Amino acid sequence: MKMKVMAGMLIMGGLAATECAYAKEYPVGGPVQKEGMEIAASYLVDIETAPMPSSMVMGKDVIHLETDVHATQDNKWGFPPDAWIPYLSVDYVVQKIGDADFMEFGQMLPMSAADGAHYAHSVKMKGPGTYKVFLKYTPPDEKGYARHTDRETGLPQWFSPFVETFTFTYPQS
């Protein structure tokens, strides 16, 4: 009997750990493929980071807006397929459709979570509605990430900055 109770507790504990492993991600847009990268955007709620930058607000109607950026099979900058692309600058602008006064903007920060590395930032929303997000991706050389340029091991010039635009509803259930 004790073994059955113990086994049940272990199973329930395992299920609880599985349920808590990842926060619920709400889709914002993508995936899209551009410049040898697969890009997707989503948001989560009630996310804390360490260190917690002063720009990372918390509270009601705050989302953790994130973008996942991984190499595709045809990536020409030396990253294997599905590898996270480091050192990007990702700027965001969030606007509420129908509310010309609402605009939140900033630069996403690189960070890691249980499901991998990504770029993200907290955004204070203006209640329920439809929102548009503009994400500007700037190549790693802006942050000093070097690439080989010699004949034998060299890589081509980085891509030019580009913007992806997604429309999403907040909140989602």
pLDDT in tens, 46-60: 999 999 888 888 889
Backbone torsions φ then ψ of 76, nearest 5 degrees: -105, 10
Q: What is the pTM of this model?
A: 0.86
Considering only the top CATH level, what class is 23-170? Answer: mainly beta
131 CB burial (10 A radius; 0-12, 13-18, 19+): buried
pLDDT value, residue 21: 55
The whole-angstrom separation of Cα 57 and Cα 13 is 32
The domains of the chain are located at 23-170
The whole-angstrom separation of Cα 13 and Cα 15 is 5
